[in-house]
C-alpha cells in the first residue's frame, strides 16, 4: 500500500527524514514558500538540493508520479515541492514555467489574503479569479503546475475549479460541516473541486479539527468515512499540514509575512499565538499506521483505505504534473 502525505511544512532535519522512512512514507509534498519572492524561493530549492545531496539514502527529489515508485523501490521518500502563495511568481506569468522546471508541482492561488490572482479566506469579500488569475490558471494548466486552493475563499475556489481545464486540489483542509473553521471547506466547495476531478487532503492541523488538539482519532476517521461516502472515495487523501519542530516565529511569518506591521493571529489568538499542540494520535511521520487503522475501523474497504492513504494522490500526480496539450 502506497503512503503519501500531500502537505508538510516541518523544520527539516535528518531526524524527520528518518521518521519518514520509519513511517513508510513514500512521498511527501512539502511547502517551500509562504511569502517568499522568486529569488528567495530559489534559495529554498537550493536548500533541498543540499539535503538531497546529504541524505541520498533517505530522500530524493520528486518530479513525476513515477518517482514515487522509484522512491518506494529504493527505500526512500520522494519530496515534491509546492507553494502556499503565488508570491514566487511575483507579477510575472513567465515564472510559472520556470518554477515548474525547477520542480514546483503545487501552487496556491492565494494564502490568507487577496493575491494578484484570487481572494484568500481571510478577506471580508471575494470577487473570485482576477484578470491575471485567468491567465495564470491557463499557464499552470499548460505546464503541469497544480492549482491548490487550500487557503482561498469559497467563490475563488469554485471559480478556479470551473475555469481550470485540469483537476485542482485542496491539499490540506477538512469539511466545514465537521469543524467550522474559516479554513475548512463547505460542501459546495468540495463538490466543485471533486466534480471536476480534483482532490482534497484531510488535515490534522489542530485548528482544522473538531475539538482542536483534543480531537479523537475516531472522530477524525468517521469524518473521513462520511465525506468519502458523500463525494466519492477516489477524491480524497491525506495532507497532514504537519509543522513539526517549527519555532513559533515561523507561524508569525506564515501569518504576517511582510504585509502588515501589526500582528495578525490568523487561526490563533493573542492568548495562544503559537503552533497548537498536535492531537495525541499524530505527532510525526511514524504515526500513519494509526490513521490507517482508524480508517479500517470505520468500515471503509481495503481499496478505499489504500486510496486515501496514497493511491489517490499517486493517480492525481500522474495526471497533474506533466505538461498539458
Binding site for its own copies (CB under 8 A): 35, 37, 87, 90-94, 113-116, 119, 122-128, 130-132, 135, 139, 257-262, 264
Least distance in Å: CB of 134 to its own copies? 9
Which CB, 56 or 324, lies closer to its own copies?
324
Distance in Å, CB of 322 to its own copies, minimum:
20
Comparing CB distances to its own copies, the nearer of 89 and 161 is 89
Nearer to its own copies, 63 or 85 (CB): 85
Q: Which three cell numbers stand for residue 105?
A: 508541482
Between 50 and 131, name the residue whose CB sits nearer to its own copies. Answer: 131
Shortest Cβ distance from residue 125 to its own copies (Å)?
Answer: 4
Tell me the closest approach of the beta carbon of residue 48 to its own copies, in angstroms. Answer: 23
Q: How far is the CB of 91 from its own copies (least distance, A)?
A: 5
Nearer to its own copies, 61 or 138 (CB): 138
SS in 3 state form for the chain?
CCCEEEEECCCCCHHHHHHHHHCCCCEEEEEEECCCCHHHHHHHHHHHHHHHHHCCCCEEECCCCHHHHHHHHCCCEEEEEEECCCHHHCCCCHHHHHHHHHCEEEEECCCCCCCCCCCECCCCCCCCCCHHHHHHHHHHHHHCCEEECCCECHHHHHHHHHHCCCCCEECCCCECCCCCCCCCECHHHHHHHHHCCCEEEECCCHHHCCCHHHCCHHHHHHHHHHHHHHHCHHHEEECCCECCCCCHHHHHHHHHCCCCCCCCCCCCECCECCCCCCCCCCCCHHHHHHHHHHHHHCCCCHHHHHHHHHHHHHHHHHHHCCCCC
Q: How far is the CB of 73 from its own copies (least distance, A)?
A: 39
Nearer CB in complex with its own copies: 53/91 = 91
Q: Provide, rounded to whole angstroms, the least separation between the CB of residue 188 and its own copies.
A: 19
* Closer residue to its own copies (CB): 181 or 228: 181
Amino acid at each position: 500500500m502506497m503512503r503519501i502525505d500531500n502537505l508538510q511544512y516541518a523544520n527539516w532535519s535528518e531526524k524527520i527524514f528518518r521518521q519518514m522512512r520509519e513511517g513508510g512514507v513514500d512521498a511527501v509534498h512539502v511547502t517551500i514558500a509562504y511569502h517568499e519572492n522568486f529569488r528567495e524561493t530559489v534559495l529554498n530549492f537550493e536548500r533541498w538540493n543540499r539535503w538531497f545531496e546529504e541524505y541520498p539514502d533517505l530522500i530524493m527529489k520528486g518530479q513525476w508520479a513515477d518517482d514515487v515508485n522509484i522512491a518506494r523501490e529504493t527505500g526512500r521518500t520522494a519530496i515534491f515541492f509546492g507553494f502556499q502563495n503565488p508570491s514566487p511568481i511575483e507579477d510575472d506569468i513567465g515564472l510559472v514555467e520556470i518554477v515548474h522546471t525547477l520542480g514546483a508541482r503545487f501552487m496556491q492561488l492565494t494564502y490568507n489574503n487577496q493575491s494578484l490572482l484570487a481572494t484568500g479566506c481571510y478577506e471580508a469579500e471575494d470577487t473570485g479569479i482576477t484578470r491575471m488569475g485567468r491567465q495564470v490558471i491557463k499557464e499552470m494548466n499548460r505546464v503541469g503546475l497544480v492549482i491548490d486552493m487550500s487557503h482561498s475563499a469559497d467563490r475563488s475556489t469554485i471559480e478556479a475549479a470551473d475555469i481550470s481545464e485540469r483537476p485542482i486540489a485542496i491539499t490540506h483542509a477538512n469539511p466545514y460541516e465537521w469543524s467550522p473553521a474559516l479554513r475548512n471547506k463547505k460542501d459546495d466547495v468540495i463538490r466543485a473541486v471533486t466534480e471536476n476531478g480534483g482532490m482534497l487532503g484531510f488535515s490534522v492541523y489542530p485548528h482544522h479539527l473538531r475539538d482542536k488538539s483534543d480531537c479523537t482519532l475516531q472522530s477524525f476517521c468517521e469524518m473521513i468515512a462520511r465525506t468519502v461516502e458523500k463525494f466519492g472515495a477516489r477524491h480524497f487523501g491525506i495532507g497532514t499540514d504537519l509543522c513539526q519542530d517549527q519555532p513559533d516565529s515561523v507561524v508569525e511569518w506564515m501569518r504576517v509575512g511582510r504585509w502588515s506591521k501589526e500582528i495578525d493571529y490568523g487561526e490563533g489568538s493573542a492568548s495562544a499565538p503559537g503552533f497548537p499542540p498536535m492531537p495525541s494520535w499524530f505527532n510525526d511521520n511514524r504515526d500513519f499506521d494509526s490513521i490507517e487503522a482508524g480508517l479500517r475501523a470505520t468500515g471503509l474497504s481495503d481499496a478505499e483505505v489504500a486510496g486515501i492513504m496514497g493511491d489517490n494522490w499517486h493517480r492525481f500526480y500522474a495526471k497533474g504534473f506533466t505538461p498539458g496539450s
